[in-house]
Every structure is written in structure tokens, then in C-alpha cells.
Structure 1
Amino acid sequence: MNWKAALPMYNLSPRIQREYEALLARLLVDGGVRDRVELLAAPELHAFWRRPDTLVSQTCGYPYMTMLRGEVTLLATPSFAFFGCEGSDYSSLIVVRAGSRAQTLADLRGGIAAANDVHSNSGMNVLRHAVAPLARDGRFFGEVKWSGSHVASLRMVRDGEADVAAIDCVTYGYLLDAAPDSVAGVRILQSSAPSPGLPLVAGRDVPSDLIDRLRAALLAPSPALRAHMTALRINGFEYRAEEDYQRILHIEAAAERAAYPLLM
């Protein structure tokens, strides 16, 4: 089997992309499988996650719970050294323009929200959860604009095209380091509920012995792998079982109990 692998979720600058590619290559060496893997730079992720020959990828916990269970195997989840992260849990930073008069979420009633994707935990699910107690007749915002990325959501808030967005704290931390202009002009209103971070996963055709080798390499990294982790602000990796990711569905269910099933 010739496997496929890619870690593009946080490729927010050329340097970060190079480091993730180097981390992935080192992981494959440490797992004893490097010569049988094609590294892909920017696959279409929803299709890539479902490929049975995907050896290593990274997905958001919300599509994992809603679309990918049974199609991928959880390898390990990174623990990041960024504000908003606690172990391998992460949260979103709910941001408004620096000059916004909003002091609480309630002040944003009837405003415009920017969200990266309908399948995103960090951009949609946790924002829906945060405003659900404030919704009236299933609605809180005047409009929701789907931006396509956290970077685009930040730009829309900064430029006045939207009033609020929820930004994955890892994305925010990387941008603060690599592209500070992209977060200039916004301020953090509050943090979202935490949940397990974006897991590394393997496709359904990957044999259990290879999964064990890759997971072991992540949980007990070699000095070479550790060096790339440090460059990416990754403190370590933890194995998180599917039961841990149920918390993401609990966040969804809380919004549904508040009669707010859709971000709107």
C-alpha cells in the first residue's frame, strides 16, 4: 500500500507550513513508514479525510463526531502552548472590532456574525453554543456570513463587514506570531466553552500495528520530532478516546435544548 499524508489545518504562513511538513516527515520516519508515503500539500480535506489510504491527517472534532466516526481512527491530539489551550483541550476566542461598543455577547444582538464553515467546531459550534441562551425564537444575529476560513473571518470583523467571530485559539496564536497585522484591530470579548482539540487521524485501511507505531511516536517523541513540535508551539500529544470528543456533541445539544439549532 502506498499511503497518503497531509497536515494542512494550520498552514497559516510559509514557515508554519514548512514546519508541519517537516514534523510529518519526521513522524513517518519514526514510525518506520516514510518510504511508502506520498506527502500532499493541500488536499481537499473533506474528501481526503474519507480516503481509506490516508495514513495521517488532522481533522476538526466536529466533523469527526458528525461525519467521520467509523471511517478514521484517532491517533493523538496535540497540546499547544497558546492562550486558550489547556492540555489537549482548546477554545475559541470570540472577537469584535477594537472600537466596538460591545461589552458582552448580548450587546451583539441583531449584528452580523462571520463564521468560517458550517462544519467547524471552533468557528460555528461553540459560537452557536455561546449565544444560544440569548436567542429569541431561534434567532440572535441579524445575519451570518460564511467566510471560508478563520483568517477571512478576522478580516471581516476588522474591516467592519461583520461584528463578531469565533476564532480557534491556536489559529489566533499562530497569527499573532506570524502575521500580527491579521489580528490587529480586533479585541477578545470572551472565550468559548473548551473541547478536545483537532485530532490526528488515520484512514480505515491503516493496519492496527502501524497505527500503534505512529501513536507511540507521537506520545513519546524522538528528539528530532520534539524539535519540530517546539517550533510549532506543541507541548506534546495525548491520546483522546472517542468518548472525550462527545463533549463537542454536548455543546451542540445544549444549543438545541435552547431551541437554537442553527447559527442565525
Structure 2
Amino acid sequence: MYNVTPHHTARWRALLHDCVKAFADARGPREVSVIASPEGALLPHWRDANLLLSQTCGFPYRMLGLERDAQLVATPIFEAPGCEGPRYRSVIVVSNAAWRNGATTLEACRGLRAAANSIDSHSGMNALRHAVAPLAQSRPFFSSVTWTGSHAATLRALAAQDADVGAIDCVTLALLRDAGFEPLRHVREIGMTVDAPGLPLIAAKSLDDSDLEALRDALDTAHATSPARARELRLRGFARLTPGAYAEIETLALAAGEQGYPELR
């Protein structure tokens, strides 16, 4: 989920290879392939009975039934503004033009054009919906909502003045800033959402308990293999949360609904 540039993709792929090696050293050789990114819809990929390791968002894990179809392996711990241990926030950003026109708080964004990566994203949709709900008073808050497909695309839309406001995963934002992502020059940060458990690493339900523990240990080994790579990925390690920790995602969604704001609008 954090393949924000080709360089980051290569570093994540190297970490996965080290993880697979450590796992094989502990549990014996396995036929494992590492893919750069899954093709097509993500839910079938996450529900694959042969899935050894992947990363999803907390929203589909908790809200779209993935918790029943896959098991939680670990939650990454990142070093980025907005992160505390295995928890993260979304950064609310506006275009420079919106900022100049007075959009310096979320409340001042009423009637502006929102952009979000996807309707099943906690960081781009659910966290922003929760933040807007008490301001919306059961009515539409934005003049429009555009689904962009990625946080980077949301930032490009803001920079091009095709949208005015959005919420960006704070880890994604930090990695893009490290990479010198040009659209960031054209946006301003105006706040953060509440925090929530970070994006979970998952495996197929078919993985037995001993393999699951070996996989967790292999992740720790892979992380320690290259401190330089870990710094580039802003990765501090992995936490072992329980599936119940992700109930917070649902709590935030329900809170918005109870305030008459069941969808981002």
C-alpha cells in the first residue's frame, strides 16, 4: 500500500524477499512468488487462499468482511508526523488557491470540492467523513466529491486546481515528501484527523499458527537486515495487534452515520 514511487516499490520488494528467505529458513523451502502489485480488483487478491503476505487498509479489513476471510499478521510502525506506534492519521490538505481564498480550517472548506482516493479507504474517505460529520449537520458539506484512485492522484488534482481539499495518509505524505513529489509545492496542510490502527498486513486463513508466528518473526528479521532500507521506508518495525483493534475503524464510521453523515458528500 506504500509503493508511492518506483524506488519505494523496489525497497518494499527487497524487504519481502528477505522476509520470504527468513520464513523458508525457519519453516523449510516453499514455492513463493513476490509480485510488484496485484492485478485487477484487490479484494480477490486479499482473499486468495494461497496468500502468504499482503497489506490492506483497515476499512476493507473491518468493514468489507476481510476480517473473516484473512488473518492479521502484523501492523507496521512508521516514523512520520501523525504516527504514534502502530497508529496513524490522515493529513487534511487544501490547494494553495483554496488556502488563499480562506480555506485555512476544515470548517472553512464548506462548499468546496473534495477529492479522495477511494470509497473504501479509511485514510482518504472514512477519516475525513468522521472529521466532517459534526460540521455537516446532516447536510452535504462539499459541493462535489471526486474519487481519484490514489493519494498521489488526489494531490495532483489539488495542485491542478481540479479539487480543493482532501485527506492524505500521513505515511504516504511523508514518503512523497521524501521523494520530492512536485504537487506538494501546491498544497497546504490545515489539520489532521483522529488516529487509528495502521494498515494491516494479512495472510490467508489457511496459514497455521506455527507458520503465522514464523512469518511474524521473518518480518522482524527482514526489517533488521537493512537499517538503511528501513530508514528509506520510514519503517520502525512491526506491532502485533489483535483483530479487535480494528473495531475503531467501524466506530468512526458509525459515529459519522449517527450524526447524519453516512457518506462523504
The TM-score range, normalised by the shorter chain, is: over 0.9
SS of residue in 1 equivalent to 2:68: coil
Distance in 1 (alpha carbons) for counterparts of 2:94 and 2:81: 17
Deviations 1:84-129 (A, max 9, x none): 1111100000000124221211111111100110000000000000
Name the count of aligned residue pairs: 256
8 Å contact 1:27–1:225 — kept in the other structure?
no
Deviations 1:109-166 (A, max 9, x none): 1111001100000000000001000113331111111111111111111111111000
Distance in 2 (alpha carbons) for counterparts of 1:42 and 1:220: 23
Question: Which residue of structure 2 lines up, in the alignment, with residue 41 of structure 1?
Answer: 36
- 2:96 corresponds to 1:98: yes
8 Å contact 1:114–1:145 — kept in the other structure?
yes
Q: Which amino acid aligns with 1:12?
A: V
Per-residue deviation at 1:42? 1.7
Distance in 2 (alpha carbons) for counterparts of 1:59 and 1:238: 15
Give the superposed CA RMSD. Answer: 1.6
- 2:15 corresponds to 1:14: no
Question: Which residue of structure 1 lines up, in the alignment, with residue 182 of structure 2?
Answer: 181
- 2:210 corresponds to 1:209: yes
SS of residue in 1 equivalent to 2:146: strand
Question: Which residue of structure 2 lines up, in the alignment, with residue 6 of structure 1?
Answer: none
Question: Which residue of structure 1 lines up, in the alignment, with residue 53 of structure 2?
Answer: 56
Report the TM-score when normalising by structure 2.
Answer: 0.92
Deviations 1:10-30 (A, max 9, x none): 111121011000001101111
Extract unaligned runs of 5+ from structure 1.
Answer: 1-8
8 Å contact 1:76–1:239 — kept in the other structure?
yes
Per-residue deviation at 1:229? 2.5
8 Å contact 1:26–1:225 — kept in the other structure?
no
Distance in 2 (alpha carbons) for counterparts of 1:103 and 1:136: 20
Per-residue deviation at 1:39? 1.1
Question: Which residue of structure 1 lines up, in the alignment, with residue 71 of structure 2?
Answer: 73
8 Å contact 1:50–1:71 — kept in the other structure?
yes
Question: Which residue of structure 1 lines up, in the alignment, with residue 19 of structure 2?
Answer: 27
Deviations 1:148-188 (A, max 9, x none): 11111111111111110000011101100113313111010
Q: 1:37 to 1:220 in 2, by over 3 A?
A: closer
8 Å contact 2:137–2:259 — kept in the other structure?
no
SS of residue in 1 equivalent to 2:52: strand
**Larger mean Cα displacement after TM superposition, 93-102 or 163-172:** 93-102
The percent of aligned pairs where both chains have the same amino acid is: 41
Report the TM-score when normalising by structure 1.
Answer: 0.92
Distance in 2 (alpha carbons) for counterparts of 1:177 and 1:92: 17
Q: Which amino acid aligns with 2:106?
A: L
Alignment of 1:185-196 (within 5 A): 185-196=186-197
Q: Which amino acid aligns with 1:29?
A: K
Question: Which residue of structure 2 lines up, in the alignment, with residue 5 of structure 1?
Answer: none
Question: Which residue of structure 2 lines up, in the alignment, with residue 140 of structure 1?
Answer: 141
Deviations 1:19-68 (A, max 9, x none): 00000110111112664101112213222101111110000001000120
Distance in 1 (alpha carbons) for counterparts of 2:240 and 2:95: 37
The ranges of structure 1 where at least 4 consecutive aligned residues each deviate by more than 3 angstroms after the TM superposition are: 219-223, 225-228
8 Å contact 2:22–2:221 — kept in the other structure?
no
Question: Which residue of structure 2 lines up, in the alignment, with residue 108 of structure 1?
Answer: 109
Question: Which residue of structure 2 lines up, in the alignment, with residue 4 of structure 1?
Answer: none
Question: Which residue of structure 2 lines up, in the alignment, with residue 128 of structure 1?
Answer: 129
- 2:230 corresponds to 1:229: yes
Per-residue deviation at 1:230? 3.0
8 Å contact 1:76–1:219 — kept in the other structure?
no
8 Å contact 1:28–1:34 — kept in the other structure?
no
Per-residue deviation at 1:82? 0.8
Distance in 1 (alpha carbons) for counterparts of 2:214 and 2:19: 10
Q: Which amino acid aligns with 2:34?
A: L
